[in-house]
Structure 1
Amino acid sequence: MNVIMDLCLVPIGVGVSVSKYVVACHQILQDAGLKTELHAYGTNIEGEWDTVMDAVKKCHEQVHSMGAPRITTTIKLGTRNDREQSMEDKVQSVRTQMP
């Protein structure tokens, strides 16, 4: 089953800047072959359910191994079985309706 996810993983106890953790997670997502779109407060991810979930787990493992004692993660995700839909399709659908 294909899933589109919005992932926001926040390491706690590592200081103010978290960019090195974002880079580490982004590399995991890329290595998994997932389609990603980085935004200011997270990453949109598209791919097969098990692959996406496995990559999120690997992100947690990697961020912990980098010294983060705690992580809080917010996940929003959607699936559909009536037709295929990509992240780009969803955005384009809205943009075509904007004045």
Structure 2
Amino acid sequence: MADDDLYAVADFCLIPIGTGEPSVAEYIAECQRVLEKSGLTYKMHGYGTNLEGPWSQVSKAIHDCHAAVHAKGAPRVATDIRIGTRVDRNVALGTGNDSKVQRVRDILAKDPKE
């Protein structure tokens, strides 16, 4: 990662439009193939994908997903993206989202059991 490239944790939801099919699973699978090749840390969930790494690589991966989904036949693609960065602490590559989730789990684990 270049010294001036921010580490980003992104959540994005890619939406193929105009496919004529009720399911977009084949298009989303194509995007997941792109992410696998990117080498970035990612995790698909029911309404999108968490993706993390250097900002420039994260944005390129999302771009490449758009290109792949268009190549698969989707005439339009819309994407909702949320990206967070932080500079107040070092985040090890690939652990940004996991550490956020673990922190909440640790807090919940302290709750009294009923």
Report the residue type matching 2:33 in the other structure. Answer: Q
Within 5 A, what are the aligned runs for 1:75-94?
A: 75-85=81-91, 86-94=96-104
Q: TM-score, normalised by structure 2?
A: 0.83
- CA drift of 1:84 comes to 2.5
- Structure 1 unaligned runs (5+)? none
| Aligned twin of 2:11 | 6
For 1:49 and 1:30, the matched residues in 2 are separated by 17
Q: Where in structure 2 are there 5+ consecutive unaligned residues?
A: 1-5
Percent identical among aligned pairs is 43
Shift >3 Å, 4+ stretches: none
CA displacement at 1:89 relative to structure 2: 0.5
Q: Distance in 2 between matches of 1:84 and 1:93?
A: 16
Bigger radius of gyration:
2
Distance 1:55 1:27 in 2: 11
Larger relative contact order (CA 8 Å, sep ≥ 6): 1
* Inter-partner Cα distance in structure 1 for 2:53 and 2:29: 19
Write the mapping of 1:1-99 to structure 2, written as runs, cut at 5 A: 1-14=6-19, 15-85=21-91, 86-98=96-108, 99=111
